[in-house]
Chain A
Amino acid sequence: MAYFSQQLINAITLGAIYGLIAIGYTMVYGIIGMINFAHGDVFMIGAFISLIGFMICAMLGIGSGPVAIVLVLLLAMAFTAIYGWAIERTAYRPLRGSFKLAPLISAIGVSIMLQNYVQLAQGARPKPGGQVVEGGFNLFSADGFDVRVAWLQIIIVVVTVTLMAGFSWLIASTPLGRQQRACEQDMKMASLLGVDVDRTISLTFVMGAALAAVAGMMFLMYYGIVDFFIGFMAGIKAFTAAVLGGIGSLAGAMLGGLLIGLIEVFWAGYFSSEYKDVAVFGILVLVLIFRPTGLLGKPEIEKV
């Protein structure tokens, strides 16, 4: 029971990180119907910017503490958002209206480019750092096993829940959210009615990238190590989360992220940690085969 509770706490933390990345996939897919393969690498960029941000804070004497975290969070969100914007502007926008697979291939190119760019600029070796929040408390003890909750885990979950709530509000009741939903339903009609489609899509990418940056920062703080390749696995898992929850649905992305976190942690905890990634891919395959619309997705009707 104690072991189970501990795994559950870890799984929720991990699921929160995946959920944040998954939102980026889901929103982009919802609005322009492409799999933004480079999104995982945007997450990686966010983690790197956070790492450097923390180091600068330490140098300036702000050190650890809430001020540093908030500062780095804002920094990482802002500068990663620039990546999101620039990628959309240069690699995806010119391809709008091109054949269906073109954006996906372009996205793979962007992904390769970003990974190697970071490898060149920062070196290939894993970078330790960013563990600014330490300690925690014992939730309860049973069977001689302490169930611990780290402060960091609480921070991660609270930040995630806050951001997701804010985000749902943004989509549901602001003019921008309305425009996004309009573009999602019918881009041509939306543009006829005066919605600036290009701007809306750009902002979607910016928001997705900002959330990925938060996820990157959480990842860095949680694991305390980043390298240029973390985006690939995390990206695929987050994509699986988005698909599992029903791609195009925000609530689905959160749910999917949570489920993937659960599957991964429990598989590693109870079976074998070598095959945890296989388990995640297996889930992805099974979901796509038996329920291609995901848990909360709407079935898509193909019109001839």
Chain B
Amino acid sequence: MGPRLQHHLKDAGLTALVAAGLGIFIVGFRTYDIGKGLTFDYQFVDLGIAIVTIFFGRLGLSLAADGLSWPALALGAVLGAIGASPLKLPSTFLHWFVTLAGLLIVLRTIWPWANHGLAVARHSPRGVPVGQAIAKWIGAALLVVAVILPMTPLGDQKTMDLAVLILTYVMLGWGLNIVVGLAGLLDLGYVAFYAVGAYSYALLSTQYGLGFWSVLPLAGMMAASFGLLLGFPVLRLRGDYLAIVTMGFGEIIRLVLLNWVDLSNGPAGIGSIPGPTLFGVVFAETAPAGKQTFAEMMGIPFSGNQRLIFLYYIILALALVTNFFTQRVRRLPVGRAWEALREDETACKALGINPTNTKLTAFAVGAMFAGFAGSFFAAKQRFISPESFTFIESAIILSIVVLGGMGSQIGVVLAAVLLIGLPEWFRDLGAYRMVAFGLAMVLIMVFRPRGLIAHREPSVRLHPVHRRGAA
């Protein structure tokens, strides 16, 4: 016990030391701008508490990893109690920090037991993995929930707003999934096509008075041709180079939109974009001359929620089209070629698949769906500016795909709800949620590099797999 404890203490001490080194300047001194120069004050108390917490947190984790459950649990409980207690720590953040550290230790301690329980539960008595059985039905169940959601009392304005947002990201995720998940091309500039779609609709509707439904295919085509244009020269590149070039393209498009003021109105953006109509019926409080509002037509009082629910069904339909397209195209030769290319490019070449053309189709199809989503976004927001199309959007969409498990359609939904829905609920946390977002990306890569739903089953097999019995 002695040397082991000593070892853990030393380890925890080192961790705390590193944390102190990391924090001493950035956290320890807070700079303030006071008109004629910069000044700072000290936050050493906060830093000290955080470092002590890190020391005990690390100690608890290594005790738990070593199988010393009871001391670890006790430590976790003490930390949790301190964090939750009315004790006056310097900031609410520290309360959270200490509590979470305690919680983490407790979770880490009970993890082996919980894991064992899960492993047992994962197999039904007949030996069929429960996960697969559930996965079959979960999609249908989610669809039913999605369709009836606006009709339930849950569908108030706030929820619908969030649901529209989540579905937009689900659609973008599914679109990008074609490029990243199926064809295995890492695209870090996906938001560029989203921007092309959005600006296509914004410009065509405000300049030429075209409606949403007639622009929608145009926006898709526009984005797809941009995909072809950008993809053609770069698709010969290896994975990570491709990623950087696509990111470069994404930034170029944003910078052009920002600076080409004659076309895009620059940073001021484009406003008063008309919303989509339902067979010529508008969703607004008052209709323009010669049009009818939805509320008038139905003879019901107007409410802002009608428009949201309409938008919700549009994006739901668009997303489902994307999903349906992906599911079907996977079974076509081109879809199979995408998956084959993802697995082994050299072998594909040997088998006579033209990698450039195949990649190009994936790129263009993915771009097309981003274009659809973009024009929906413009119609929903009624105002767009280059601010909405920064690199971070591409990173978020990509992380939805990757966290969901590349190639898994249901994983994308799960990840979108997790990454978009949860942070929206915690919007008050401000920048903290973005720290947590980055942390989540790292943690999921470390602990589940294959994504939440690890799924890379080929769509077709020469020989069906033989089911193994319960382990």
Contact = CB atoms under 8 A, between A and B. Distances in A.
B432 A104 contact: no
Interface stretch (A153-161, A255-263, A281-289): A281-289
B9 interface: no
B248 A281 contact: yes
Given A278-B252, A289-B233, A118 B26 contact: yes
The binding surface of chain A is classed by DSSP as helix
B441 A106 contact: yes
Interface in A75-128: 79, 82-83, 85-86, 90-91, 94-95, 98-106, 108-125, 127-128
Contact of A106 (B255, B432, B446): B446
Interface residues of A, number: 67
The 8 closest A-B pairs by CB, nearest first: A109-B441, A113-B438, A112-B438, A281-B248, A116-B434, A106-B445, A274-B259, A109-B442
A203 B30 CA distance: 30
Contacts of A125: 33
A94 B259 CA distance: 42
B21 interface: yes
A299 B469 CA distance: 49
A277 B251 contact: yes
Contacts of B432: 116, 120
A211 interface: no
A285 B249 contact: yes
Contact of A112 (B30, B237, B441): B441
Interface stretch (B155-163, B166-174, B313-321, B392-400): B392-400
Contacts of A120: 431-432, 435
A285 B248 contact: yes
Contact of B395 (A94, A102, A108, A284): A108
Interface in A41-70: 45, 48-49, 51-53, 55-56
Interface centre among A95, A103, A104 (most CB of B within 10 A): A104
Nearest to A103: B445
Interface centre among A99, A125, A288 (most CB of B within 10 A): A288
B242 to A, nearest CB: 9
Interface of A: 34-35, 45, 48-49, 51-53, 55-56, 79, 82-83, 85-86, 90-91, 94-95, 98-106, 108-125, 127-129, 232, 236, 239-240, 243, 274-275, 277-278, 281-282, 284-285, 288-289, 292, 302, 304
The binding surface of chain B is classed by DSSP as helix
Contact of B446 (A83, A95, A278): A95
A243 B241 CA distance: 9
Given A79-B21, A113-B438, A277 B255 contact: yes
A177 B186 CA distance: 33
Given A118-B26, A120-B432, A232 B445 contact: no
B22 A116 contact: no
Contacts of A114: 438
Interface in B4-40: 18, 21-22, 24-27, 29-33, 37-40
A121 B441 contact: no
Given A128-B33, A292-B237, 16 more contacts: A55-B38, A56-B29, A79-B24, A99-B449, A101-B243, A105-B445, A109-B440, A112-B395, A113-B439, A116-B432, A121-B26, A232-B391, A274-B255, A278-B255, A289-B245, A292-B238
Given A86-B18, A109-B440, A91 B446 contact: yes
B135 interface: no
Contacts, number: 182
A111 B438 contact: yes
Nearest to B43: A121
Nearest to B38: A129
Contacts of B398: 105, 108
Contact of B33 (A53, A115, A127, A292): A127
B95 to A, nearest CB: 16
Interface in B444-464: 445-446, 449-450
Nearest to B27: A121
A277 B253 CA distance: 11
Nearest to B240: A35
Given A35-B244, A278-B252, A284-B245, A117 B26 contact: yes
B401 to A, nearest CB: 10
Contacts of A112: 392, 395, 434-435, 437-438, 441
A48 B25 contact: yes
A214 to B, nearest CB: 16
B399 A288 contact: no
Interface in B36-68: 37-40
Contacts of B31: 51-52, 55, 122-123, 127, 129
Contacts of A302: 346
B289 to A, nearest CB: 41
B256 interface: yes
B255 A275 contact: yes
Contacts of B256: 278
